[in-house]
Structure 1
Amino acid sequence: MTKLKPHPSPSAAGAEVLEQKKLPAQQRATETYERILTATAETLCDVGIERLSTNLVCERAGLTPPALYRYFPNKYALLSVLGERLLEKQNERIDHWITQELLAGTPAQLELAMAELILDTYRVTHATLGGMWILKALRAVPVLEHVRLDSHRRVTNAQLQLLIAAFPLADPEVLSTVARIGVEMIHATVELLFDETLDPKRVCAMVAAMIVSHLDRIGPVEKND
Structure 2
Amino acid sequence: MSSAKKPSARKAAEPPPQVVTTTKQQPQQARAQDTFELILETAGHLLDEVGLERLSTNLVCRRAGLSPPALYRYFPNKYAILRELGDRLMALQDQAVLDWIGEGGMNTRTIEDAIESNIRLQERVNDITRQFPGNIFVLRALRAIPLLREVRLASSDMVAERIADGMIQNGHKASRERLIASARLTTELAYSAMEMVLEEPDRDTRQILTDVSRMIALHYAGLNG
Q: Does 1:215 align with 2:214?
A: no
Q: Does 1:40 align with 2:73?
A: no
% identical equivalent positions: 37
Aligned equivalents of 1:103, 1:46: Cα separation in 2: 38
Aligned equivalents of 2:172, 2:118: Cα separation in 1: 21
Aligned equivalents of 1:201, 1:70: Cα separation in 2: 44
Q: Which moved more, 1:31-40 or 1:126-135?
A: 126-135
Checking the alignment, whether the CA contact within 8 Å between 1:102 and 1:109 is kept in structure 2 is no
CA 1:91/1:50 → structure 2, altered by over 3 Å: closer, same or farther?
same
Residues 58-79 of structure 1: CA distance to partner in whole angstroms, max 9, x if unpaired?
A: 1111111111111000000000
Matched with 1:174 is: 178
Counterpart AA for 1:68: L
Counterpart AA for 1:123: D
Alignment RMSD (CA, Å): 1.9
**TM-score normalised according to structure 1 size:** 0.85
Correspondence 1:76-225 to 2 at 5 A: 76-99=79-102, 101-107=104-110, 108-167=112-171, 169-196=173-200, 197-219=202-224
**TM-score normalised according to structure 2 size:** 0.85
CA 1:15/1:167 → structure 2, altered by over 3 Å: closer, same or farther?
farther
Counterpart AA for 2:61: C
Residues 59-118 of structure 1: CA distance to partner in whole angstroms, max 9, x if unpaired?
A: 111111111111000000000011111111112221333348443431322210101111
Aligned equivalents of 1:14, 1:84: Cα separation in 2: 20
Aligned equivalents of 2:186, 2:105: Cα separation in 1: 16
Q: Which moved more, 1:20-29 or 1:94-103?
A: 94-103
| Among candidates 41, 63, 66, match of residue 63 of structure 1 | 66
Checking the alignment, whether the CA contact within 8 Å between 1:119 and 1:200 is kept in structure 2 is no
Checking the alignment, whether the CA contact within 8 Å between 1:19 and 1:77 is kept in structure 2 is yes
Residues 157-211 of structure 1: CA distance to partner in whole angstroms, max 9, x if unpaired?
A: 1111111222353222221222111222112211121233421111001111110
Aligned equivalents of 1:219, 1:132: Cα separation in 2: 34
Matched with 2:10 is: none
Runs of 4+ in 1 over 3 A off after TM superposition: 13-16, 98-102
Aligned equivalents of 1:102, 1:46: Cα separation in 2: 36
- Can you give the 5+ residue segments of structure 2 that lack an aligned partner in the other structure? 1-15
Q: Does 1:52 align with 2:55?
A: yes
Aligned equivalents of 1:215, 1:147: Cα separation in 2: 26
Counterpart AA for 2:219: H
How many pairs were matched up?
Answer: 208
